[in-house]
Amino acid sequence: MATSSTDSSREARAFRQRRVALFGLASGGLGLIFLLFRAVVAVFMLDEQEFTHPSFLYHLLGVTAGLTTWLACRTGARSGRVVHVAEALALVGTSVAYQLMGWHIPLANRPEMIVLLAITYSFMAWAAYVPSPPRRTLLLSLAVGVPLVVGTYVVYLGADDTLLRGASFNETPLPAAQAAGMLAASIAVWWSLTTVLATATSSVIYGLRQDVREARKLGQYTLEEKLGEGGMGVVYRASHAMLRRRTAVKLLPAEKAGEQSIARFEREVQLTAGLTHPNTVTIFDFGRTPDGVFYYAMELLDGASLDVLVELDGAQPPERVLHVLDGVAGALVEAHEIGLIHRDIKPANIILCKQGGLFDVPKVVDFGLVKDLSGAGVALTGTATLTGTPLYMSPEAITAPDTMDARGDLYALGAVGYFMATGTHVFPGRSPVEVCGHHLHTKPEPPSTRLGRVFATDLESLLLDCLEKDPSRRPQTAAELQQRVRECRGYGAWDRERARRWWQANGEKLRRGRTEHPTLTRDEPLPGRDSRIGA
């Protein structure tokens, strides 16, 4: 069986198990409330025989059946057979128990109608709440209805003529068997109507769930959970039909599927798919559904973005900053060498993740604003349109975005390193315009001054060089930047063991902040945080 089918079956079984458990809790819980009420009344009336009366014991049996189902299904993954047995116990077991309880009501009160009404409500609630194939609903209905019809016949078979005439709406005396048969037939008709309605309800509910599952399939991928949303798409956790691998699927919503958005979306996946560096997010697949929805599948990163990391853990030690700069610079080396610049390097687009037994693996994501310097691609942004995130935007990206080259990425990476090292942005501001003004005219404050303490001299020098206003005074290539990063030694390596210990101590805190970070940008304009202009 295909993996996605197995995963879908497991997901459907888990959902059904939860619903069966809650139905058992509701059934048993309501029954328990009435049972306790009976017990309180018996105690108040000093009626000790109530606790040994058969109707009380059958009532207790019905409550036990419902709560047993809840206990059996409330935790852990159960097999389909166990869930089915528990479901039958909650539905059939409680119904039969309450039927037996009802037969101890005086016949003059028409107990069969009281029982019919009670279990009809219960059965219809089950059909609407627990998704079940119509055939199973029909079988369970027979399992509930047959004892009801047979019980009606047996109970009234020994009744006196007066009761039978009143119950059968017939003033002419009838033989007991015939009168009891008429009553049983009446109950059978009413329960048949319940069966038809419940089966139809199951058909609709079960069919709708099937339709939803089909609607959540994109090619070989089945969408499972929405992880987040950004300016260029919505990201879902997904499973593949054949492969057991963690996958994220990014969709271009229909309302954003204009000609320019489609071109940018396709361009993003095509360019990113051509990158193979281990510090660049891996693209698995790309497609378009028959109804025109564009999507691509990429690796699902288990970790946290740098903005989340710094928000939760504050300024990072120099050796960790260097470790991240090294990995990101390596990813940019490959991109720049084939003529691509990212144009939106920022903390939210760099994910530290656990991968292949390694901790703190930096991954560069979201090439949605990438620019092709080779001239082979079409222009995807208009003239004089700012693209990027103001807090990490180079001066030339503000004044002449169409002439921006790879050194703009190095400026942004320097700003990211500054953010990691100090826990603050290079130029915080109350508006994007103010921040852009600082990038153009304000000299960056050295990290040591910002922190008010001694800071790694060579790393500080490297960060300030990256943040030079004049591109010619920065490192000229990502390879040069990476080489300078590797020359900044003397602080102790951020090695595998240190990374492992950090994640063991802080992983839970990160998971509470954001688990399995969706690989997309955050585009909301937040004061003092990321914001995008004209993207």
pLDDT of residue 469: 92
Please state, in angstroms and rounded to a whole number, the distance separating the CA atoms of residues 124 and 132.
12
pLDDT of residue 231: 59
- The 3-state secondary structure of 367-392 reads CCCCEECCCCCCCCCCCCCCCCCHHH
Where do the CATH 3.30.200.20 domains begin and end in the chain? 219-299
Pull the structure tokens for residue 261: 């958005």
Q: What is the pLDDT of residue 466?
A: 92
pLDDT at 290: 65
Kindly state which CATH superfamily the domain 219-299 is placed in: Phosphorylase Kinase; domain 1 (3.30.200.20)
Phi first, then psi: give them for residue 426, nearest 5 degrees: -60, -50
CB-CB contact of 416 with 346 (8 Å): yes
- Closest by CA position to 349, among listed 521, 229, 514: 521
Q: Which amino acid is at 522?
A: R
- Taking only the tens place, the pLDDT of each residue in 252-304 is 665 555 666 667 667 767 777 778 898 988 888 777 766 667 777 888 887 88
CB 412 within 8 A of CB 346: yes
**pLDDT at residue 193, as a whole number:** 93
Cα dihedral across residues 323, 325, 329, 331: positive or negative = positive
| Residues known to be catalytic | 344
Domain with CATH 1.10.510.10 in the chain: 303-513
Surface-to-core class of residue 7, CB atoms within 10 Å of its CB (0-12 exposed, 13-18 middle, 19+ buried) = middle
* Residue 217: predicted pLDDT: 67
Q: Could you tell me which CATH number the domain at 303-513 has?
A: 1.10.510.10
Buried b (16+ CB within 10 A) or exposed e, 158-189: ebeeebbbebbeeeeebeeeebbbbbbebbbe
At residue 5, the pLDDT reads 43
Instruction: Return per-residue pLDDT of the chain as tens, 535 residues.
Output: 333 444 446 667 788 888 899 999 999 999 999 999 989 998 988 888 888 889 899 999 999 999 999 999 988 888 888 888 988 888 898 999 999 998 888 887 788 888 899 899 888 988 888 888 888 899 999 999 999 999 988 888 877 665 555 555 555 566 777 778 888 898 999 999 999 999 998 888 876 665 555 556 666 777 777 777 665 667 877 777 677 677 888 876 655 556 666 676 677 677 777 788 989 888 887 777 666 677 778 888 878 888 888 888 888 889 999 999 999 999 999 988 888 888 888 998 898 888 777 888 899 887 654 554 444 443 334 434 445 578 888 898 888 887 788 899 999 999 999 999 999 999 888 888 888 888 988 899 999 999 888 888 888 999 999 999 999 999 999 999 999 988 887 666 788 888 888 888 887 777 666 544 444 433 333 333 333 333 2
- C-alpha count within 13 angstroms, C-beta hemisphere, residue 141: 29
Nearest residue to 70 via CA among 125, 127, 140, 17:
17
Q: How far apart are CA 472 and CA 456, in angstroms?
A: 24
Q: Which helix (H) or strand (E) holds 318?
A: helix 318-337
Q: What is the pLDDT of residue 401?
A: 80
Q: Looking at the DSSP assignment, which residues form a beta bridge with residue 240?
A: 221
